[in-house]
Amino acid sequence: MRFLFMSDTHFTSHKDKKPSIWFNRLLMNKWDEIKEKVISEISELKPDVIIHCGDFTQFGTAEDFAYGKSILDAIGIEWYAVPGNHDAFNEVVKKEMRRQFVITDGSSFCYSRIFGKIAIAFLDVCVSKSDLLFSIDESSLNWLESFLNENSGKIVFLVCHIPIQHSAVISECGTFVDNGLPSKGKIFSIYFYETIGQIENVNIIRKIIDQHKNVKIVFSGHWHINSLHISNDVHYKIVPSICSYPCEVVVVDSDDDKIRIYNESIGLSDLQKESLIIEWNNTWVAGTQETRNIVIPIN
C-alpha cells in the first residue's frame, strides 16, 4: 500500500499577500500557478491515501480551507489531515475538518483510520496555550492510549503537526539570517526548541508512545524541513513543505516485510529556485541521504 504525506501547504485564497520568510521563502501565494502541476504529479505517484500533516491553511479561514480542499479533491484520492498552528488561529478550520472527517465524539480533535495491517491515529497537538506554546488535551491523550491498546496487533502511524521529538531539528546544521545577521542553524534550532512551537505536555505523549511497541512512525510537519530521528525504535519523520524549498512530499510504501519511506520531488524546480535564499545557505533543510530514504523491516 502506498501513502503520500504532505505538509505545510499554507493554502490561501488571498493572492495579494507577499511570500513569508521561514528558513527560505514560503510561496503560499503561488498556488494558483502550481496547483495543476501538483495535482498531476501527485496523481502520477498513484498513492492509495494522502495524509496532510497540518498548516493546511495560511490564515485559518473557511475560505482558505475551501480553497485547499478543492485542490486535494481534484487529485481524486482519499485524503486526511490534522490541524496545524496556522489552522488554529480560530476554530473555523478545525470545525471544517471535523465535518470533513466526521469527527463527532467529544470536544477533542482526534480520529483514526485503518488500512489493512496499518492503523493511523490523527492527533491535534495545536491546542493553543499562548502564541508560542501548545498542548494536547487530556481527553486526546486518553483516546490515544485506548487506540494503541485496541490496535496492539497492528502497525501504528501517528500523525500530528508539531514534532514531538525536537532533537531531530537540533541535530541538523545550517545557517539562518536573524534580523539581518547570520546565525548557525544549530544555535537557531536550539532557540526554536526553547521558544517556538513547543508542546507543553510533550513528555506525556512520548511516555505513551514508549509504552506501546506497535508505534513505528510519527509523522509531523511545522519546521518546513526534511528530518528523521530514531528513538526507542520509533522513527520520527518531519515532512517538508510543498511551497518552500525543497518543495517535496514523502512517500511510504508498505508490504509484508518492510516499510520504505522516501522523499519525492513533485516537479517544482522553478518554485525551489524561487524559494531558496542561496546566500542564507539553508540547503540543509532538504536533509541528508540517510533522512531521505529509510527502510524499516517488519518483524
Using one digit for the tens of pLDDT, what is the confidence trace for 29-65?
999 999 999 999 999 999 999 999 999 999 999 999 9
pLDDT for 190 equals 44
Hey, what's the cell of 286?
A: 532538504
Q: Is residue 63 helix, strand or coil?
A: helix
* 78-125 pLDDT, tens digit each: 999 999 999 988 889 999 999 999 998 767 889 999 999 999 999 999
Compute CA distances 176 → 97, 192, 237, 285, whole Å.
Answer: 34, 12, 22, 11
* CA dihedral for 242, 248, 253, 258, sign (positive or negative): negative
128 close to 136: Cβ distance less than 8 angstroms: no
146 contacts: CB under 8 Å, gap ≥ 6: none
Q: Cα(24)–Cα(181) distance, rounded to whole angstroms? A: 15
Higher pLDDT pick, 203 / 217: 217
Half-sphere exposure for 97 (CA within 13 Å, toward CB): 31
198 close to 125: Cβ distance less than 8 angstroms: no
126 close to 81: Cβ distance less than 8 angstroms: no
Q: Is residue 107 helix, strand or coil?
A: coil
> pTM (2 decimals)?
0.92
Q: Are strands 175-178 and 118-123 parallel, antiparallel or unpaired?
A: unpaired
Q: Cα(255)–Cα(186) distance, rounded to whole angstroms? A: 36
With 90 as the cut, is the pLDDT of residue 298 above it? no
154 contacts: CB under 8 Å, gap ≥ 6: 114, 117, 118, 119, 214
For the chain, the residue count is: 299
